[in-house]
Amino acid sequence: MFNFSYHNPVNIIFGKGTICQLAELLPKDGNIMLVYGGGSIKRNGVYDQVIKAAPGRRLIEFSGIEPNPRYETLMRAVEVVKREKINFLLAVGGGSVIDGVKFIAAAALWQGADPWDFMPDHGQAVRAALPLGVVLTLPATGSEMNPNSVVTRESTREKLFFGSPHVMPHFSILDPETTYTLPPRQTANGAIDAFVHVMEQYMTCPAGAPLQDRQAEAVLLTLIEAGPKALEHPNDYDTRASLMWAATQALNGLIGCGVPHDWTTHMIGHEITALYGLDHAVTLAIVLPAVWRHKRQHKAAKLLQYAARVWGIRDGDEDARINAAIEKTEKFFQSLGVATRLKDYDVKNGLGAIAQQCEKHGLPLGEHQDIWRKDVETIIDLCRE
């Protein structure tokens, strides 16, 4: 096991009827910016619950954060923050709203010319940010309990991430009942995103970390159980609660302590979203099996462990078991209604740009740092059909 330090200060408030606790959690003085997306929170009653929980607070609203939040929109919010002297940000929504708020929080206190300048080195230069809190409505990204944010710059078609301890939420309210209204597509996306977050910290090489392995497998098994159930019974509280807590656990840093990581699938996926507009989780469902096929020798020990412990595949030779595990994974994504090849989305032109952009934003990738441009090209080939 590698050395590690782990510090996660986010105050998690979990369960039905917990949004009213904003009354104690929000600062009593000053100006709070309430940030949300395209209006789902107005249709499902979450907005009303938030307003009711904040009597006497000065709330300034900023709405219209789009899925894959855009730098251009977020910079408009930064202007409002400065003008209105905002000193606390409240994100109400999914990963895009939370990530957007993290960017706004850091950008508002950025001393340099353009906050985009802290993106290429992934936020290392961020020294301060406004405090923020979260009301989560979509289990997927883990953003409610991690220091990361992913922002898209429309003008250059770049999707980059930054991470900073300064943008850790002070609190996150997770009420599973807010997720009853998710469209099936978003429920499926969330389960797949969380599943792949686990994989990026698990499907590498053995590292003498049996606890982390079993924690990761527990999250995978829970997602495999709860994902399809949530589609079938959208108002089943315990299923929604399992999904929500599993997605948080998938990317709050815990299962990734002391083990190698391989974020190749996410890095390639971000470029596909930036270039072709596919949903984040869709890109992951396409790229993950291709990464495994390309790196099956390096990942063989963990693929075999995964096959046995998660899917119960114990018969046959090693090759057959690995093939069966990859197939089971793809079938799981497909059972949630997500197709796993680029051709299913009519993406076929200009594919060379994906590897080119990966190179621009930082290669090599992989737990052995051995995935270069030609490897990305091979992986994209395996994604085609």
Residue 252 binds: one of ligand NZQ, Zn ion, none (C-beta under 5 to 8 A by kind): none
Give min distance, CB of 141 to Zn ion, in A: 6
Q: Choose one: 53-61, 92-100, 104-112, 366-374; the region binding ligand NZQ (CB under 6 A).
A: 92-100
Taking CB under 6 A as the criterion, the residue among 77, 78, 138, 244 binding ligand NZQ is 138
Give min distance, CB of 55 to ligand NZQ, in A: 24
Residues of span 214-253 touching ligand NZQ by CB under 6 A: 251
Among the listed residues 114, 100, 126, 124, the one whose alpha carbon sits nearest the alpha carbon of residue 34: 100
Among the listed residues 159, 125, 163, the one whose alpha carbon sits nearest the alpha carbon of residue 361: 159
Task: Assess contact for 182 and 138: CB atoms under 8 A.
Answer: yes
Residue nearest Zn ion (C-beta atom): 193
Give min distance, CB of 72 to ligand NZQ, in A: 15
Residue 204 binds: one of ligand NZQ, Zn ion, none (C-beta under 5 to 8 A by kind): none
Among the listed residues 69, 278, 88, 270, the one whose alpha carbon sits nearest the alpha carbon of residue 189: 278
Distances (CA, A) of 176 to 3, 135, 185, 238, 261: 35, 11, 17, 8, 29
Concatenated DSSP letters for 113-173?
S-GGGGTTTTTTT------EEEEE-S-SS-GGGSSEEEEEEGGGTEEEEEE-GGGS-SEEE
Residue 201 binds: one of ligand NZQ, Zn ion, none (C-beta under 5 to 8 A by kind): none
Give min distance, CB of 265 to Zn ion, in A: 9
44 binds ligand NZQ (CB under 6 A): yes
Taking CB under 6 A as the criterion, the residue among 73, 141, 164, 242 binding ligand NZQ is 141
**Residue-wise burial string across 303-335, b where 16 or more C-beta atoms lie within 10 A, e elsewhere:** bbbbbebbbebeeeeeeebbbbbbebbbebbee
Residues of span 61-80 touching ligand NZQ by CB under 6 A: 67-68
143 binds ligand NZQ (CB under 6 A): yes
Taking CB under 6 A as the criterion, the residue among 49, 189, 249, 357 binding ligand NZQ is 189
Q: Which is nearer to ligand NZQ, 49 or 68 (CB)?
A: 68
Q: How many residues bind ligand NZQ (CB under 6 A)?
A: 35
Amino acid at 10: V
Kindly report the backbone phi and psi dihedral angles of residue 365, in degrees, each rounded to the nearest multiple of 5, phi listed first: -120, 180
Residue nearest ligand NZQ (C-beta atom): 37
- The contact set with ligand NZQ (CB under 6 A) reads 37-41, 44, 67-68, 93-97, 99, 137-138, 140-143, 146, 148-150, 178-179, 181-182, 186, 189-190, 193, 251, 266, 280
